A and B are shown apart, each in its own frame.
Chain A
Amino acid sequence: MWIFRKCLFLPIILVSPFSLPCAVCMTNCPTLIVTVGLPARGKTYISKKLTRYLNWIGVPTREFNVGQYRRECLKIYKSFEFFRPDNEEGLKIRQQCASAALNDVRQYLADGGQVAVFDATNTTRERRETITVFAEQNGFKVFFVESVCEDPEVIAENIVQVKLGSPDYTNCNTEEAMEDFKKRIKCYENSYETLDEVLDRHLSYIKIMDVGRRYLVNQVQDHIQSRIVYYLMNIHITPRSIYLCRHGESDLNVKGCIGGDSGLSPRGKEFAKYLRQFIQSQEISDLKVWTSQMKRTIQTAEAVSVPYEQWKALNEIDAGVCEEMMYEEIQQHYPLEFAMRDQDKYRYRYPKGESYEDLVQRLEPVIMELERQENVLVICHQAVMRCLLAYFLDKTAEELPYLKCPLHTVLKLTPVAYGCKVESIYLNVDAVNTHRERPENVEVSRMAEEALLTVPAHQ
């Protein structure tokens, strides 16, 4: 494993196994993130998004949604009456579910998890006190994320987007479901104790007010909490779309060579024109266009004929000594490297080059800015696009390097409910295939043919 990452020196070091530059020291204490807030305040949305982000940057994170536990326990949801504060039986079940979830949290954090997100209302001080004690006993740091919102339109929109489609309401019509859910919220309102500036001054937390207009941040303890705060302060829910595509087919693509800094092939130039027409037809308001600093993405953007910005961070993965080689040449000159790459494509670092893992770290500021922005078209490269896509579609490190990102195809990503809708638009200009599947045999002892079996055709 050390060899993949080109770390020659092993002894007492704390080489971070994650992409986070100093993960081990910063996060030796697992962290328990605890959401707080009335129903329909975006707690699950935030939990899932935050989990996705932390996993992508290499911090093993999992969310634990108490509502799931309740659904497993209760099988059938009848009505809001279950949540009435005077419903003794209901309270008992809910208590049990919370405990079951915390048990799983403890298990997860003991088994290699770094961050657990405990997604529940946690609206009483008493409940939060219980959790704090649990965390202390187990040596976890606690960070609360409270979402406060009184805008009736936002709340109604939330209910429509995610509650009506919930398993709880499969047999109800829209109006019934809406009515019941509103009564459910009421059940919590009386006993709701928001995080208090004075009473809770020793707790670490962020209070998000009115979907991000205002934040109160208290006692940030460490690096990971600081990163979480920064992330939460940059996300928004304004509807928008993100368009991802690669540069048009390049001269080196045609030859089957990786990397380099070549210009577009004739078909690539054709694609760029089609891209312009496509973008115009989408009639996107205020579109930002980003490229890398490599010739082929810039040539593509120039043809689209809108102002664009160059990011060095969007440059293709650096293949080091393998730059501009065909796979056949890599097999010939570096058969060992070639095999190791197939063994762990995510962590493998080219000699004097980069790994996908390095790429993710490099791309983090791009993701952060993508979160801040609204409509954006990113014209980039195969490995880069795989990393960005993996972030938006919550793909694992194993899946990431094999995501299909063909040339001359635009992916339109639109956030919806808790995830992302993806539309793939092929712009009808032929191009080589540059996708190499993982071959069967990844042993260093394999034959050349076995290694080259999955190499796509080229000139």
Chain B
Amino acid sequence: MTLSVWALPSADMTTAQEKNELTQTPLLKIWVPWLGMGGCKLSCRRGSSVPQLTNSPTLIVMVGLPARGKTYISKKLSRYLNWIGVPTKVFNLGQYRREAVQSYKNFEFFRPDNEEAMQIRRACATNALKDVVIYFSKDHGQVAVFDATNTTRERRISIVSFSKEKGYKVFFVESICDDPDIIAQNITEVKVSSPDYVNCDKDEAQADFLKRIECYKQSYVPLDDEKDRHLSYIKIFNVGSRYLVNRVQDHIQSRIVYYLMNIHVTPRSIFLSRHGESELNLLGRIGGDSGLSPRGHKYATALGGFIKGQHIKDLKVWTSHMKRTIQTAEHLGIPYEQWKALNEIDAGVCEELTYEDIQENHPEEFALRDQDKYRYRYPNGESYEDLVHRLEPVIMELERQENVLVVCHQAVMRCLLAYLLDKTSDELPYLKCPLHTVLKLTPVAYGCRVEHICLNIEAVNTHRERPGNVDVTRDPEEALKTIPEHF
């Protein structure tokens, strides 16, 4: 290790940057230069706990024959990116086609020699790309997923030139599958119920769709190791047993690859539950690290019974590091793992206060929180936005796992639920996650089926709705109107 003392040459050091004054933005608690002084050097969107590491918009282009999971991947990827704060939208060519051609007759539309249909399909692609441009330039989108077969080199080349012209980065996601069982399963799950086949019976739909696939097979040219070596892409083989990754350009593509390599389609269920009712819950206090109330213990026992009754294979149980989730898990009689990342949102100076206390001691903070509950950061604490970033590794591991029960907390559960059910950041902080209720989530088709199982043990309500008046000037009664009852 070399040491040196650096001597400053005598030069004039006073610059316009003399102002080292900073102020902290009230909502996000971000330090910014005193506004009004010719701009600061903070390069990007303020407020998120993680830098936005993307500059050019990215166009993700799906590639693959029908029934290879392109739409499944598009929707899932879009859900993930939106959840971590990257505005993303899917542009599904099939939708455009359905709008252009009001009623679908049969597979003949997709025959390669059907000139009229070809024209319509090309027009749809052009319209979809036009919408992508609008999404990026006017709607502040960051990532667009172009969900179509894109099975010919010609089509892909035109997309690449389009992107180059506009200054978008392109990343291809190709799904290759030759397992007939998987393909048949796909067709049953999502094609047979598509608007295209609303007037057909299952077998007819299945047969027609298989012929549709044949229409594409002739002209299908997969991404080529040699010819396409300058493109950025991931090739997914047989639902994830193998991946080929070429020329990852930047952070967001790296995250996309990591995500795609961790998801699977094996059937399983995710169970979400809060800890049993806690002592502080009873008192209407937020945060803290208290133990379970007597009713909370009852719930934990009931939860144990419920879990046994479900006969779940190889269930993994996760808790936070806080006493109340651990006490709950103890009653289950199954090994569990503790994640610090699952700890409840840190309410900073408001820890262990009642809403009444917060209104009395921090009325402005209380109002700011109601104005933007997702981005609002407690003084010396966290925001929901911070929570989402904290929870990202949990989500990644949830994707890898199969049957999991997560015993966590209200704000944490809202974040996880928002990811699984594709809720916006506006909806997220108001999702209903009552005590003593288990949510069973089972992936199905393009989404998630939710079952609410209330285990019939009384508990306080901890859900506070957004009040009518969110101005800092409001009266205390207006602020406290929506507070749930407590002791």
Contact = CB atoms under 8 A, between A and B. Distances in A.
Interface of A: 6-9, 11-16, 21-22, 24-25, 197, 201, 213-220, 223, 226, 229-230, 233-234, 263-264, 269, 272-274, 277-278, 290, 293-295, 298-299, 301-313, 358, 361, 365, 369, 372, 422-428
Contact of B248 (A233, A269, A302): A233
Interface stretch (B236-244, B294-302, B363-371): B236-244
B50 A9 contact: no
A164 to B, nearest CB: 23
B43 A214 contact: no
A311 B49 contact: yes
B323 interface: yes
Contact of A313 (B49, B248, B326): B49
B85 to A, nearest CB: 13
B306 interface: no
B11 interface: yes
A358 B390 CA distance: 12
B20 A264 contact: yes
B46 A310 contact: yes
15 contacts: A8-B323, A8-B326, A13-B336, A13-B338, A16-B337, A25-B337, A216-B245, A274-B6, A278-B6, A311-B49, A372-B251, A423-B4, A424-B2, A424-B4, A426-B3
Nearest to A422: B1
Nearest to B327: A9
Interface string B330-346: 10010111111100000
A365 B50 contact: yes
A155 B42 CA distance: 41
A295 B380 CA distance: 13
Given A264-B20, A272-B20, 6 more contacts: A21-B397, A25-B335, A218-B243, A230-B261, A361-B340, A425-B6
Interface residues of B, number: 68
Given A14-B335, A223-B397, A299 B4 contact: no
Interface in B216-274: 229, 241-248, 251, 254, 257-258, 261-262
Interface class of chain B by DSSP: mixed
A295 B4 contact: no
Given A22-B339, A215-B245, A220-B261, A426 B6 contact: yes
Interface of B: 1-9, 11, 13, 15, 17, 20, 22, 24, 29-33, 40-44, 46, 49-51, 53, 229, 241-248, 251, 254, 257-258, 261-262, 316, 318, 321, 323, 326-327, 329-330, 333, 335-341, 386, 389, 393-394, 397, 400
A219 B241 contact: yes
A298 B42 CA distance: 9
Contacts of A312: 49-50, 386, 389
A233 B4 CA distance: 36
A372 B51 CA distance: 14
Contacts of A301: 41
A428 B7 CA distance: 7
A241 to B, nearest CB: 13
Given A13-B326, A13-B336, A219-B241, A277 B11 contact: yes
B337 A14 contact: yes
B44 A9 contact: no
B339 A277 contact: no
B242 A298 contact: no
The 6 A-B pairs with the shortest beta carbon distances in the complex, nearest first, are A312-B49, A307-B43, A309-B51, A422-B1, A215-B245, A217-B243
Contacts, number: 181
B24 to A, nearest CB: 8
A309 B51 CA distance: 6
Nearest to B5: A426
Contacts of B49: 293, 311-313
Contacts of B46: 310
B335 A13 contact: yes
Contacts of A219: 241-242
Given A226-B400, A308-B42, A310-B51, A218 B22 contact: no
A269 B15 CA distance: 13
B31 A293 contact: yes
A225 B9 CA distance: 51
Residue with the highest number of chain A CB atoms closer than 10 Å, among B11, B257, B337: B337
A219 B243 CA distance: 9
Contacts of B333: 12
Given A312-B50, A425-B6, A15 B243 contact: no
B29 to A, nearest CB: 8
Nearest to B20: A299
A298 B31 contact: yes
Contacts of A22: 318, 337, 339, 397
A273 B19 CA distance: 12
Given A223-B397, A223-B400, A295 B31 contact: yes
A11 B327 CA distance: 11
A369 B251 contact: yes
A313 B51 CA distance: 10
A194 to B, nearest CB: 14
Contacts of A428: 5-8
Contacts of B30: 293, 310
Contacts of A308: 41-43
Nearest to A364: B393
B331 to A, nearest CB: 11
Contact of B247 (A214, A220, A277, A422): A214
A422 B20 CA distance: 30
Nearest to B394: A21
A273 B247 contact: no
B6 A213 contact: no
Contacts of B6: 274, 278, 425-428
A241 B235 CA distance: 33
B195 to A, nearest CB: 37
B4 A425 contact: yes
Contacts of A358: 340
Given A24-B337, A216-B244, A233-B257, A9 B326 contact: yes
Given A233-B254, A294-B31, A306 B41 contact: yes
A365 B41 CA distance: 23
Nearest to A15: B338
Residue with the highest number of chain B CB atoms closer than 10 Å, among A6, A12, A293, A372: A293
Nearest to B11: A277
A274 to B, nearest CB: 5
B202 to A, nearest CB: 34
A21 B5 contact: no
A213 B249 CA distance: 10
A261 to B, nearest CB: 8
